[in-house]
Structure 1
Amino acid sequence: MSSPGSLENPYDLIGGAPVVRKLVEHFYDAMERTEPELTRLHACDAEGRVSRESRDRFALFLIGWLGGPQAYTERHGHPRLRMRHARVPVSVTMRDAWLRSMTIAMDEVEIAPSLRAYLEPRLAEVANFLRNHPG
C-alpha cells in the first residue's frame, strides 16, 4: 500500500469509480452464478438478477469505504451497516458466500496482489461484523 503521507488510498489504487463499479458488477454476477441462497436475500429483478438499485447502492458505499467521494453518505446517510442488514439473516454460511463472491470478483477484475492483501482482511472484518445469526 501507499507510504505514510502518500496521497494514494485504496480508492485511488484500485482505479477509482470505474473499477469499483466493475468490481461490484462482477461481485453480483459471481453471486448469481455461484451463491443462489445469498442472491435470494437481495432485491432481484424479473430475471432473478440482483437489482440495479442494489448494485448502484453498493457501488456508492464501496467507493466511499475505499476512500473515494462520499456520495453514499450524502444520498443515504451514515451506512449503519448492522442496522441496514438487521432484516437479513447473516450467518457464517452467508458471510462466507459473500466473501467467496468478492474473491471471484477480485480475481476477474484482476485487483493487484498488494491491494488484495490490504483489502481481503478488511472485507472479512466487515462481513463478520454483519453476522447476526449463528451457523
Structure 2
Amino acid sequence: MSAPESLFNPFEAIGGEAAVQKLVEHFYDAMERLEPELTRLHECDEHGKISRGSRDRFALFLMGWLGGPQLYMERHGHPRLRMRHARVPVGTGMRDAWLRAMKVAMDEVGVEGELRAFLEPRFAEVADFLRNRPG
C-alpha cells in the first residue's frame, strides 16, 4: 500500500543523494549521446562533455526539488528557473529533447513504478514551464 501523497518523499523514494547524483550523471551522459543540439546549449569541457559544474548544480537543484536537502538554495539562492534559463532558447523541440534524455536516464538507473509515474508528469510540467520560444 502506498503512502498518502502528503507523506511521499520522492528524494527518499529514489534513494537519496547518491541516487540523485547517479540519475544526473546518466541524464547528462544520455543528453551527450542522443541530444547534440541540447548538449550544445550547456557549458562543456574541452572534451565536449557537459561541465562538472553544470552537473553538480543540477544535482543540488534536483535533490531539493525532490524533497531532499535544500543545498542548491543555500549555495546559489532561489532557483528562479525561468530567469536562469532566459538566455537559452527553449522551444518544444528542446523541451522534448530534455524529457527524452531524462526518460533514458530514469530507464538506466531503474526508476520505475509509482516513483516513475509520480516523476514523469512533474518533469514534463517543469520542462514545459521553461519554454520561452514558440514551437
TM-score range, shorter chain: over 0.9
Count the aligned residue pairs.
Answer: 134
| 1:104 paired residue number | 104
Contact 1:2–1:9 under 8 Å retained in 2: no
| 1:92 paired residue number | 92
| 1:25 paired residue number | 25
| 1:63 paired residue number | 63
| 1:2 paired residue number | 3
Tell me the TM-score normalized by structure 1: 0.96
Tell me the TM-score normalized by structure 2: 0.96
Identity of aligned residues (%): 71
Q: Which structure 2 segments of 5+ residues have no match?
A: none
1:38: Cα distance to partner? 0.1
> What SS does the corresponding residue of 1:90 show, helix, strand or coil?
coil
1:4: Cα distance to partner? 5.3
Confirm whether residue 74 of structure 1 aligns to residue 79 of structure 2. no
Superposition map of 1:34-73 within 5 A: 34-73=34-73
The whole-number CA distance in structure 2 between the counterparts of 1:86 and 1:15 is 32
Give every structure 1 segment of 4 or more consecutive aligned residues whose post-TM-superposition deviation is greater than 4 Å. none
AA at the equivalent of 1:121: P
The whole-number CA distance in structure 2 between the counterparts of 1:132 and 1:55 is 22
- Using the TM superposition, name which of 108-117 and 79-88 deviates more: 108-117
The whole-number CA distance in structure 2 between the counterparts of 1:4 and 1:21 is 24
Q: Which structure 1 segments of 5+ residues have no match?
A: none
